[in-house]
Structure 1
Amino acid sequence: MKFTESMLMSYSQPLSATEDGQCKNAIRMVADALKTLGFTDDNKDITPLYSDTLAYSLKMRRSSDSRNIKLFVQGSYANNTNVRTESDVDVAVIQEEVFRTEYRSSGTLYPQSDSDYNFRTVPAAAKSFKDEVQEALEEKFGSDVERKNKSIKVHGNTYRKDADTVPCRRYRDYRQDFMHDVSNFIGGVVIYPDDGGIIINYPEQHIANGRKKNIDTNYHYKKMVRIMKKMRYLMEDSCCIAYSSAAKNVNSFMLESLLWNIEDSWYLDNCGTYRKVFAFSQLIATLQNRENDFLRYKEANGIKELCPKPSDYTNLCNFINQLASFYEYE
């Protein structure tokens, strides 16, 4: 077998302390740039959303117009599932005082509207929040700033990693609230890509769910996720077109979510006393046997479907089957 115990052990390891510090630097550099827009952090420390995560967070405000924003590290660094040291650090910058709501529609038994919560619609700002953030970053980092469809990249150097800043707006889903309680909502974020449309994500739920899953599986869950992600990168770099193509048609978040759906007892039974080579072999076999279940699986946030499109399901099944071949015979 190509993959030895020592190799899989190294693949399963978490981030180093150095990268931990670079996550803090990513938050700090974005926060410092936003101070040029009049925001202040009131000299607060950068702290993680949870004490045992790298999801560093910072709240800022602007007293002149009562604006509030929240910054936090999201993605693989925040979830401590990163396996490539050169990966970008994702920093969400969330507008909190202006938000998008979701209500039960007028055709339902208990419809809702803004008036139930004393909300009012505000006119569109002359300049988008993304434009504001971009200008602030450019003022501080100059030509190191590059605008992307959904984010604004700040290219790194010896002090900081590449950082993808994601300006977004708070999303509030009140459909499960029947008491007109302003604070009783499922919170997400809304991203407005440059090419149109909207994207609703739940990064905070992703972090919380991944943390709980890892604790409940005696910390085996994220080890298996890191190995799975490493395998994907190895397949993507393979000279075999079938492996490379299969890897490119899925993303790391999809694989992390796939493994989140595997019950806790599986990790405790298969990873607790056996070597990682054995455990990962068993994981691949389990996933192959459960392909029909992929259609009912959720993302790691527990809200969105893992495979919302038929092509997502096809690509995921193909990846698992190609992974089985790659793992055994490459």
Structure 2
Amino acid sequence: MPITEAQLDTWSKQGASGPSRDTYAAVRKVLEDKAAPYAGKDPEIFLQGSYGNDTNVARDSDVDVVALISSTFAHDAATLSPDQYQAFEKTYVGSASYSYSQYKNDVFNWLTSKYGTSVRAGKKAIYIPAGQNRRECDVLAAIQYRYYYRFNNALDQSYASGICFYLQDGTQIVNFPKQHSDNCTTKHQNTKSWFKPTVRIYKNMRNYMIERNKLAEGVAPSYFIEGMLHNVPNDRFGASFEDTFVSTYNYLNSTDRSQFKCANGIHPLFGTSAVTWRSENCVTYLEALKALWTNGMK
């Protein structure tokens, strides 16, 4: 039998945010310390991920913090017309002297000096272990990324501002967390506050299946679930959680998903790059959801 409205209502609830809020406040204070070696670069500290977007559920434990500097930036200006790219190069002659690797190293050393040698530099972020009144936390050292629409001169240019970081093998990762967050908030408002609870239901269903070996870990990351549901028409949300799940699922299962965009509105949702979802993983997730809905909780 289908999953009950009461269970869906339970799954729609936001996980406890107090410990995460306290963790963020403590880590942010450390990152913004004027004694930090990168302080002169005026870093901007903000949350991203489930806690930043208010879609966290009980299983979410770590806190994702971005430490962004804009004085050093990466860009796609080479994709502009030749005359605009020439104007860009003339304006920004000479690259920034403070590199991404220097910045990440400075952030890592600073956090190690504050939290001890258990701080680790991971593939993407710098990991701070849980401590007294503090949850696990990932700090992503990032530089600005400029996705250019136009560049005529310094006073006449247009670009989307995102973040950029590099993996240990040099792979560049570009994302737009602020646009993602803003668009999810707008979607939530346009669906009369049904969007974010629905995301939490889809996430909790995923977690339920993972815990029972019905779905592999990593098949359906939270970021992509949010992006997927962001593409569902607003009128598919509402009335009840059961109606909302059935209506959103039926849309996702029957429509052409190939043109879906991430919630940031810039990247395609599906593809083979490091910031896109493999379409086969989405199919696996949707099939697992159908099986759970059809067979019920066991």
AA aligned opposite 1:167: A
Between the two structures, name the one with larger relative contact order (CA 8 Å, sep ≥ 6).
2
- Which of 249, 261, 284 aligns to 1:284? It is 249
What CA distance in whole angstroms lies between the structure 2 residues aligned with 1:224 and 1:211? 13
The yes-or-no answer on 1:298 pairing with 2:297 is no
1:1-330 aligned within 5 A: 1=1, 3-16=3-16, 18-19=18-19, 21-31=21-31, 34-38=33-37, 61-62=39-40, 67-105=41-79, 110-123=84-97, 125=99, 128-178=102-152, 180-181=154-155, 184-239=158-213, 243-245=214-216, 248-267=218-237, 271=238, 273=239, 275-290=240-255, 293-309=256-272, 312-330=278-296
Cα distance in structure 2, aligned partners of 1:228 and 1:26: 31
Write out per-residue CA displacement over residues 74-115 of structure 1, whole angstroms, 9 at most, x where no aligned residue.
Answer: 111100011135421111111211111221547657544434
Residues matched between the structures, number: 293
- Matched to 1:307, the amino acid is F
Distance, in Å, in 2 between the alignment partners of 1:260 and 1:328 is 24
Q: CA deviation at 1:180?
A: 4.5
SS at match of 1:287: helix
CA distance 1:112–1:227, shift in 2 (3 Å) = farther
4+ residue runs over 6 A deviation: none
Alpha-carbon distance in 1 for matches of 2:150, 2:243: 43
Give percent identity, aligned residues only.
25
Partner Cα separation in structure 1 for residue 117 and residue 68 of structure 2? 24
Deviations 1:179-201 (A, max 9, x none): 64366321011111112211011
SS where residue 175 of structure 1 aligns? strand
| Structural RMSD (CA) | 2.6
**Contact persistence 1:27–1:72 (CA under 8 A):** no
What does the per-residue CA deviation read over 1:153-200, in whole Å, with 9 as the maximum and x for residues that have no partner?
Answer: 101124111110000111112233456436632101111111221101
Matched to 1:69, the amino acid is: P
State the secondary structure of the residue aligned to 2:43: strand
Greater Cα shift, 298-307 or 97-106: 97-106
Tell whether the 8 Å contact from 2:75 to 2:148 is kept in structure 1 after alignment: yes
Give the letter aligned to residue 246 of structure 2: S
- The 1:158–1:9 alpha-carbon spacing in structure 2 relative to 1, beyond 3 Å, is farther
Q: What CA deviation, in whole Å up to 9, does each residue of 1:222-243 have, x standing for no partner?
A: 111000011111111123xxx3
Output the CA distance in 1 between the equivalents of 2:82 and 2:27.
42
Shift of 1:257: 0.3
CA distance in 2 between counterparts of 1:158 and 1:2 reads: 42
Q: Secondary structure at the match of 2:134?
A: coil
Give me the TM-score of the superposition, normalised by structure 1: 0.80
**Is contact 2:62–2:135 with CA below 8 Å preserved after alignment?**
yes
Q: Is the 8 A contact 1:83 1:226 kept in 2?
A: yes
Preserved CA contact (<8 Å) 2:149 2:158: no
Distance 1:248 1:197, change over 3 A: closer
Q: Distance in 2 between matches of 1:125 and 1:105?
A: 22
Residues 151, 157 of structure 2: 8 Å contact kept: no
The answer to whether the 8 A contact 1:12-1:224 is kept is: yes
C-alpha distance 107-179 of structure 1, shift in aligned 2 (>3 A): closer
**Structure 2 length normalisation: TM-score?**
0.88
- Structure 2 gap ranges (5+): none
Deviation at 1:20, TM superposition (A): 5.6
Query: d(CA) in 2 for partners of 1:200 and 1:295?
Result: 21
Structure 1 residue runs of 5 or longer lacking an equivalent are 40-60
CA distance in 1, matches of 2:151, 2:87: 12
Inter-partner Cα distance in structure 2 for 1:24 and 1:122: 30
Structure 1 residues 40-75: Cα deviation after superposition (integer angstroms, max 9, x where no partner): xxxxxxxxxxxxxxxxxxxxx42xxxx221111111
Q: CA deviation at 1:294?
A: 1.4
Question: Would the aligned equivalents of 2:232 and 2:248 in 1 still touch at CA under 8 Å?
Answer: no
